[in-house]
């Protein structure tokens, strides 16, 4: 049965998405998961969320999708040991060395390869499977035949159904580092590199600023827009189900718990109705229902983007 995975940007959001019918939730420990600290969880909050999610009989995964330095690996393994004692169900990792170290230390812990692994071909899928990965979060640019190839490699496939694209491949963008580079070490010894989501800071969405393109001879183009858009895969959900996709994922730890609850409710009902009668599925009424969620999402995202762009030049 396909799993609906929802974001858990706070304990309130975790509760909201559980009530709304999510099968699983992903959370990020503070400083380790490519989000602003406000949408990541402290260890005590993570423990509280793990017990809440399990009280619903659902699953919790922990996203550790930054790229640690060598001296941070023992710290990460220590953290994971603690998380495992609280019963987390899986971990989402990006860094290849980290995947290797975590699989060696905790062979039973399911490892999901984050979208940031940027896998694009059968050799990648086979390599990550040998490394110990069980499920792949597919890049939204992958065609259907690659999703089938991931399945053929014996891996679970996770598809983003409600998310924003990145101008580049995830984890390959260092644009924010040009605008802001601030380092600090936290009490546990983890290095936070503000200006780089890849190293435990956050993305300032510079791709969404208005760009002018200049060359030696003058300005060639004004107000260039780099592509970074939201997408909502309603019409593709029946095909995902047919293909045997394991997980359909909603992105959005930065939004309000109420908005994410509304999104989960919509996709829960959509998936259930599609499973009940896949042949007669019509996405049109669902797109109509999605309109209000999109409107609120756009508002909240625009506010957040303006804040991030302001911070990047502060």
Footprint of ligand SF4 (CB under 6 A): 166-168, 173, 175-176, 203, 205-207, 228
CB nearer ligand SF4, residue 50 or residue 207: 207
How far from 245 is each of 150, 200, 205, 211, 221, CA to CA, in Å?
Answer: 10, 30, 30, 38, 42
- Rounded distance between C-alpha atoms, residue 253 and residue 39, angstroms: 6
Of the pair 176, 251, the CB lying nearest ligand SF4 is at 176
Report which secondary-structure segment, H or E, holds 127: helix 122-131
Q: Which residue has the tokens 């009280």?
A: 55
User: Residue 209: which residues within 8 A CB-CB, separation 6 or more?
Assistant: 309
Rank residues 205 and 265 by Cβ distance to ligand SF4 and give the closer one: 205
CB of 174 to ligand SF4, least distance (A): 8
Closest approach of Cβ 232 to ligand SF4, in Å? 18
269 phi-psi bin (left φ>0, alpha ψ -120 to 50, beta other): alpha
Of 157, 127, 128, 154, the residue nearest 140 (C-alpha)? 157
Please, what is the minimum distance in Å from the beta carbon of residue 173 to ligand SF4?
A: 3
Question: What's the closest the beta carbon of residue 175 comes to ligand SF4, in angstroms?
Answer: 4
Minimum Å gap between C-beta 204 and ligand SF4 is 7
Q: Residue 223 CA to chain centroid, in angstroms?
A: 29
Residue 230 CB contacts under 8 Å (≥ 6 apart), including other chains: 163, 164, 165, 294, 297, 298, 301
Torsion, Cα 261 262 265 267, to 10 degrees, reads: -110
CB 82, min distance to ligand SF4, A: 29
Nearest residue (CB) to ligand SF4, 212 versus 292: 212
CB of 76 to ligand SF4, least distance (A): 22
Of 157 and 206, nearer to ligand SF4 (C-beta) is 206
* Cβ closest to ligand SF4, residue 77 vs residue 173: 173
Residues 148 and 150: their CA atoms lie apart, in Å, by 5
Report the residue number, 43 or 254, with the smaller CB distance to ligand SF4.
254
């Amino acid at each position: 049965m396909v799993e609906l995975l929802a974001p858990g940007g706070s304990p309130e959001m975790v509760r909201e998405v559980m009530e709304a019918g999510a099968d699983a939730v992903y959370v990020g420990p503070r400083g380790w998961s490519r989000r602003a600290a406000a949408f990541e969880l402290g260890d005590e909050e993570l423990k509280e969320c793990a017990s809440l999610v399990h009280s619903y009989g659902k699953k919790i995964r922990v996203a550790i999708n930054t790229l640690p330095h060598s001296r941070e690996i023992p710290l990460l393994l220590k953290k994971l040991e603690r998380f495992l004692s609280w019963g987390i169900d899986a971990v989402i990792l990006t860094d290849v060395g980290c995947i290797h170290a975590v699989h060696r230390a905790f062979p039973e812990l399911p490892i999901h390869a984050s979208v940031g692994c940027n896998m694009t071909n059968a050799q990648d899928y086979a390599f990550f499977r040998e490394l110990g990965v069980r499920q792949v979060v597919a890049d939204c640019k992958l065609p259907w035949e690659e999703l089938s190839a991931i399945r053929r490699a014996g891996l679970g496939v996770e598809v983003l159904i409600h998310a924003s694209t990145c101008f580049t491949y995830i984890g390959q963008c260092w644009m924010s580092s040009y605008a802001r580079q601030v380092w600090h070490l936290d009490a546990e010894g983890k290095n936070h590199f503000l200006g780089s989501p890849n190293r435990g800071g956050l993305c300032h969405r510079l791709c969404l600023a208005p760009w002018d393109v200049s060359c030696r001879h003058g300005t060639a183009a004004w107000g260039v827009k780099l592509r970074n858009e939201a997408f909502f895969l309603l019409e593709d959900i029946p095909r995902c189900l047919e293909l045997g996709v394991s997980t359909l994922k909603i992105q959005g730890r930065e939004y309000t718990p109420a908005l994410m609850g509304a999104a989960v409710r919509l996709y829960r009902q959509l998936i259930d109705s599609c499973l009940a009668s896949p042949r007669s599925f019509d996405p049109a009424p669902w797109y109509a229902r999605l309109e209000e969620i999109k409107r609120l999402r756009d508002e909240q995202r625009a506010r957040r983007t303006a804040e991030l762009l302001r911070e990047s030049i502060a």
